[in-house]
Amino acid sequence: MAEATESQPAPVRRYEPLVPAAAAMVAGILAGEYLGGGMLLWCGVAVAPAAVWALMLRRRAPAGPLLVPLAVLVLAAGAARYRSTVEPPADDVARLVADGTRIVTLEGVVVDSPKPSRPPSDVFLPTLPYYIRTSMKLDVSRALVEGAWYPARGGVHATVRQPLPDADEAVPCLGDRVQVTGRLMRPLGPSNPGAFDVATYFHRQGVRASLSTDHWEAMRVVEPAADPLRWTVGAMGRWAVHRFEAMSSKEGRAVASAIVLGRRDLLRFDIGETDAEDLERAFILTGTAHFLAVSGFSVGLAAGVVLLVMRILGAGPKATAAAVFVVVAAYAMMTELRPPVVRAAILITILCLAWATGRERQRLNSLAAAVIIVLLVRPGDLFSTSFQLSFAVVLGMFWLVVKIDAVLFRRGADPLDDEEVPKPGAFWLPTYARRTVSLSIAAALVAIPLSANRFHLVSWLAPVASVALAPLAFLLIAGSMALVILGAPAAWLGDLLAAVPDGMARAIVGVVDAMARIPGGHFYMAEYSGGWLLVTYGLLGAWVWRERLAISRRRLAIAVLAAAAVFLWTGGHRAPAGVRATFLAVGSANTNLVELPNGRTLLYDAGSSLSYARAGEGTIAPALWSRGVERIDAVFLSHAHFDHFKDVLPLVELFGIR
């Protein structure tokens, strides 16, 4: 073994103990989901490894063997924590109704502010009252059943089948205690193959019941600001939205509110050939939907603005970390503490603390700490696509940026780790531009496989679109922060500052709309299983660590081509032995899938009840994808009623018809 010399120092071993702890907690949550068992059972399982670990610690066992019982202990604790959130308590509100519906009055605090729905822009349908509704989440404390109040706990998804009232004082705010009378029921599971399991999704979020009422008169506020913290958070969000009113264009206000504050319910405009629904679809098709929804990316841009300002001012690490924490915390509150924003705020805070204490090289340890904190608070988030994308993208940035930087800019150093920090006054803008390009491409490369797995969509334009939108989004966030912070004292200053975010928002609309029109920029695929997802990330990892693993370029290329060949050979629609007919549950309408032994796929009608919004994308398409169908050979219509053909056009866009 070569000895270290002054010219070749020995490599420093990075001690990152939280990485195996986070892995054990993830394994524990998975065990709690798929193996079941009660919380007390898993607490009992944790006793044995805890005793073994304490005994080994007393006998001063080496650090390596100590990790085994400790990992088992964390695994059992993770399973117990997860089971504690999914097991309903004795007074759970869902116990009030077994099957069907029941008329009850619930009292609880508004924990997710009311959001109105947006009717679909369907050429076949007028604006019908079926689609107009307002939804919110309540944290229930008691229920009135048959004239008597009973304790009842749990989250409830409440829906009022009316738009928001015109008068602001008639709308319950975040943190208000309300009483509402309506039809209580348990969320229903999927009725069709491949459909999204709403019941399981709600269950993992602590919501085990839903309540529906037809009129706002059935809901009244009994205690304003019952939860002062949540009410303050809601007030900050409303104040920020009010500041955005200074923007001159309706399009700019809507897009800025959606990107910066996560208020996609305000995304309502119709200008020329582009309306809000077309814009949302354009973001999805270009693989840049994370730009439109407030997420960890938005929080990262806000932190980047603060870092840039503090760099210009010549502030040190501790002052910069403190400023980032204050701004990120305020930003999270203005977005009503949405889970993606809170996750990103936790991660950025931990990274800033590590930087301020000289531990910035322990990035994986910081990421693991954020994972542990988030899963301790909301263990069900592990199964959400948002959580998986957030941390997978950050992990990809840590590892892929080095290779991307080397390929694009011929640089071998990690721009997030080993590069010398530019001094104030130095010409460091090219460094930030290079980092933006590399980080955007890395994020897109990690997100594409997961999007294919969850949404059946592959967008080749995602890396290019991300690079094009990143500087515009940065300027939008920076301009919005200036508008909110500096524009409040004087109206004229607010009008002046509003020009920047307004212009950037409209520029983003133009770029996304243009890229979505590029032919062949995206395609849909029937299936991209979890196994192939792991294979894809494994190949990305092999590319990152090719030199360390001594993998030649030729072998890596052969592995990629072999994986692609196997995927193409084993994928696609498998014809049944005989005629197979599937009658989809689409309400009072009709959609029937017929699969023939020769591989042809037919639809007899392609409609749904008038009350089913976007059933083509949300109900019929997942059923076809679950059968491996990527193209429809023919559609037969029984008669020309809306509910028998209103979903044809979305299916033509997703599958095509021969």
Question: DSSP readout, 215-239?
Answer: -GGGEEEEETTSSHHHHHHHHHHHH
- Burial (Cβ within 10 Å: 0-12, 13-18, ≥19) of residue 449: buried
Q: At 65, list the tokens.
A: 């063997």
Taking a C-beta distance cutoff of 8 angstroms, is the pair 294, 341 a contact?
yes
Q: What end-to-end distance do the CA atoms of the chain give, in Å? A: 67
CA Rg, the chain, in Å?
Answer: 27
Pull the structure tokens for residue 160: 């009022």
Cβ contacts of residue 204 below 8 Å, gap of 6+? 85, 86, 380, 381, 383, 384
Q: Which residues pair with 595 in a beta bridge?
A: 580, 601
Q: What angle do CA 504, 509, 515 make, to 5 degrees?
A: 125
Nearest to 404 by CA among 414, 394, 417: 414
Cα-Cα-Cα-Cα dihedral of 387, 390, 395, 397, to 10°? 170
Burial class for 271, CB neighbours closer than 10 Å (0-12, 13-18, 19+): middle
pLDDT in tens, 211-246: 999 999 999 999 999 999 999 999 998 888 888 888
Provide the CA 312 distance to its chain's centre, in angstroms. Answer: 33
Residue range 482-511, pLDDT digits in tens: 888 887 666 667 778 888 999 999 999 999
What pLDDT is stored for residue 104 in this prediction? Answer: 94
The Cα 562–Cα 336 span in angstroms is 47
167: left (phi over 0), alpha (psi -120 to 50) or beta: beta
Q: What residue spans of 524-620 are helical by DSSP H?
A: 530-544, 553-570, 615
Q: Can you give the pLDDT at residue 418?
A: 43
Q: β-pairing, 634-636 with 148-160?
A: unpaired
CB 462 within 8 A of CB 444: yes
User: For a pLDDT cut of 70, what percent of the chain falls above it?
Assistant: 89
Q: Is 421 helix (H, G, I), strand (E, B) or coil?
A: coil
C-alpha torsion sign, points 524, 530, 531, 532: positive
Low-confidence ranges of the chain (pLDDT < 50): 1-12, 272, 413-427
Contact call for residues 642 and 126 (beta carbons, < 8 A) = no
Helix (H, G, I), strand (E, B) or coil at 199: helix
The pLDDT, as a whole number, for residue 3 is 45
* Cβ atoms 511, 535 nearer than 8 A: no
**Per-residue pLDDT, 639:** 87
Angstrom distances, CA of residue 194 to CA of 432, 572, 584, 615, 623: 43, 15, 11, 13, 5
Q: How does pLDDT run across 440-473, given as a tens digit for each residue?
A: 888 888 989 998 998 899 988 888 888 889 889 9
- DSSP E strands in 454-595: the ranges are 457-459, 522-524, 580-583, 591-595
pLDDT at 254: 87
pTM of the predicted model as reported, rounded to 2 decimal places: 0.84
Which residue from 436, 498, 499 is spatially nearest to 471, judged by alpha carbons?
436
Question: What is the H or E stretch that residue 619 is in?
Answer: none
Closest CA to 394 of 368, 430, 413: 368
* Residues 335 and 262 sit within 8 Å (Cβ to Cβ): yes
- List phi, psi (to 5°) of 569: -70, -40
Determine the pLDDT at residue 421.
45
HSE (CB half, 13 Å, CA atoms) of 368? 16
Of the candidates 264, 266, 251, the one whose C-alpha atom is nearest the C-alpha of residue 293 is: 264
Q: Which residue has the tokens 């030649």?
A: 552
